[in-house]
């Protein structure tokens, strides 16, 4: 889906917006009203205006996607093709379920007490949240109006889709820096590294808090020189970076790749040994970061 970026953000192919009659379904839109009877043109118009989105699932999680207990909403659609992706069923926007923004906002309102008690809030994840910037902005604005802490989880590749007004409603960004080496980044994602760096620069300039994330994959991203380059990139964002999270690679998405008929190239890659994880974290600590 190398053209989806232009389809989603500048009009493009209508089929990228539409949910099919049948698909390999995710397990997490329970309690949300599905709008499967919308006319095609109406659905497209509503997605572009931000009142309707393509959603894979939502869940309540604690201390995973930001501080406290969070309602994490997983968007469908992503311009990257990360070799280690554990949600390949979010690659295509058309494979999601159409869900109204107001339905999600009503659910957020129910959990305001939980968010306040735990110091939590909402996290918009994916897929790639910035594939659907109008819909994301509707959710973020509504959450801020309710006094709810907001977070987005993004690769930053589509950072240009997040206007300054959009970022005013974002309290925290989980920014995935997938490699510090351009060649390795292209191998991991199929895309270029520069947009992530540029987005991080914008966040730092605006004073938006960043939790930088790095997925440690033995034999792919684990070279100490690559990790050092990642640390140098994150270092340029200064005090905006509250913490760095080193996320060990796992094989939990293998079944999804197989069910979708996709070529999973990391089938024989083992999760990193604890010693490698700790050595990688130590590289980030040496740059003065709080590391998890």
Q: Domain count of the chain?
A: 1
Q: How confident is the model at residue 64 (pLDDT cuts 50, 70, 90)?
A: confident
In a domain, 291, yes or no: no
CB contact at 8 A, 80 and 157: yes
In this prediction, residue 30 carries a pLDDT of 58
- For the chain, the average pLDDT equals 89
Q: What is the mean pLDDT of residues 245-265?
A: 94
Is 292 contained in some domain?
no
Whole-number Å distance between alpha carbons of 141 and 139: 6
User: Looking at the domain assignment, is residue 196 inside a domain?
Assistant: yes
Residues of the chain above pLDDT 70, percent: 87
Classify residue 290: in a domain, yes or no.
Answer: no
Residue 81 in any domain: the answer is yes
The predicted pLDDT at position 35 comes to 60
Where residue 72 sits, what CATH number does that domain have? 3.20.20.70
pTM for this structure? Answer: 0.87
Torsions phi, psi for 197 (to 5 deg): -65, -45
**What gap in Å lies between CA 88 and CA 265, rounded to an integer?**
13
pLDDT tens digit sequence for 4-46 = 333 333 333 333 333 322 223 333 555 566 565 667 788 889 9
> What is the model's pLDDT at position 41?
80
pLDDT at position 118 over 90:
yes
Q: Which pLDDT score is estimated for 44?
A: 84
Domain that holds residue 208: 4-285
**DSSP string computed for 125-182:** ESS-GGGSHHHHHHHHHHHHHTT-EEEEEE-STTGGGS-HHHHTT-SEEEEE---SSH
How do residues 124-181 score in pLDDT, each as one tens digit? 999 999 999 999 999 999 999 999 999 999 999 999 999 999 999 999 999 999 999 9
Residue 64 domain flag: yes
The tokens of 54 are what? Answer: 């393509």
Q: Is the pLDDT of residue 230 over 70?
A: yes
pLDDT in tens, 177-219: 999 999 999 999 999 999 999 999 999 999 999 999 999 999 9
Banded model confidence at residue 63, pLDDT cuts 50, 70, 90: confident
Q: How high is the pLDDT of residue 29?
A: 58
- What's the Cα-to-Cα distance from 129 to each of 75, 221, 244, 274, 277, rounded to whole Å? 6, 24, 21, 31, 28
Q: What is the pLDDT of residue 62?
A: 81
Question: Looking at the domain assignment, is residue 19 inside a domain?
Answer: yes
């Amino acid at each position: 889906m190398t053209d989806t970026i232009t389809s989603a953000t500048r009009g493009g192919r209508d089929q990228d917006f539409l949910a099919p009659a049948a698909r390999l379904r995710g397990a997490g839109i329970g309690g949300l009203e599905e709008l499967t009877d919308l006319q095609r043109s109406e659905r497209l118009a509503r997605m572009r205006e931000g009142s309707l989105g393509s959603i894979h699932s939502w869940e309540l999680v604690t201390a995973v996607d930001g501080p406290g207990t969070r309602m994490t909403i997983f968007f469908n659609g992503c311009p990257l093709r990360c070799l280690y992706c554990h949600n390949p069923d979010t690659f295509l926007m058309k494979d999601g379920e159409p869900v109204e923004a107001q339905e999600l906002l009503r659910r957020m309102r129910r959990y305001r007490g939980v968010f306040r008690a735990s110091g939590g809030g909402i996290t918009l994840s994916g897929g790639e949240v910035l594939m659907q910037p109008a819909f994301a902005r509707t959710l973020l604005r509504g959450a801020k109006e309710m006094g709810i802490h907001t977070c987005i989880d993004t690769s930053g590749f589509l950072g240009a889709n997040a206007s300054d007004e959009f970022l005013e409603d974002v309290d925290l960004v989980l920014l995935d820096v997938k490699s510090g080496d351009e060649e390795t980044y292209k191998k991991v994602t199929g895309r270029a590294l520069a947009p992530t760096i540029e987005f991080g620069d914008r966040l730092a300039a605006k004073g938006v808090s960043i939790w930088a994330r790095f997925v440690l994959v033995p034999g792919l991203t684990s070279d100490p020189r690559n990790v050092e380059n990642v640390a140098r990139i994150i270092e340029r964002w200064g005090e905006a970076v509250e913490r760095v999270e080193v996320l060990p690679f796992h094989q939990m998405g293998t079944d999804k790749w197989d069910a979708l008929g996709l070529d999973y190239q990391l089938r024989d890659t083992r999760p990193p040994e604890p010693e490698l994880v700790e050595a990688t974290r130590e590289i980030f600590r040496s740059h003065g970061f709080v590391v998890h």
